[in-house]
Amino acid sequence: MILVDIRHYLANHQTATLNDLAIHFDADPESIRGMLQIWINKGRIIKVPVQTSCGGGCGRCHCSLGESYQWV
């Protein structure tokens, strides 16, 4: 996986969560996050604000994997 792969995925889907990207590319979320940061620094991707929890109240969600990114 290279930066252009992430660009193509987000350009086609417009928005994706970190978890979606990690599953699609079969990669560690931290690796994906690092590549996303490069596109963020170039102004091509924005991190979409999400709620701090799903609202279910169970306390078991991994909200950091639910962080969303959008191609601009």
Q: Residue 49: what pLDDT?
A: 83
Q: Name the residue among 63, 70, 72 with its Cα closest to residue 19.
A: 63
List the CATH number of the domain containing 36. Answer: 1.10.10
Q: Give the Å distances, CA to CA, from 66 to 4, 22, 42, 44, 62.
A: 22, 11, 22, 20, 7
pLDDT, one tens digit per residue, over 21-71 is 999 999 999 999 999 999 999 999 999 987 655 555 565 555 555 799 999
Q: Residue 57: what pLDDT?
A: 57
Q: How many domains does the chain have?
A: 1
- Considering the entire predicted model, what is its pTM? 0.78
Q: Residue 8: what pLDDT?
A: 96
Q: What is the arithmetic mean of pLDDT over 3-10?
A: 95
- The β-bridge partners of 17 are 68
Residue 56 lies in a domain: no
Give the range of the structural domain holding residue 30, as residue numbers without chain letter: 3-50+62-71
Return the SS3 of 16.
strand
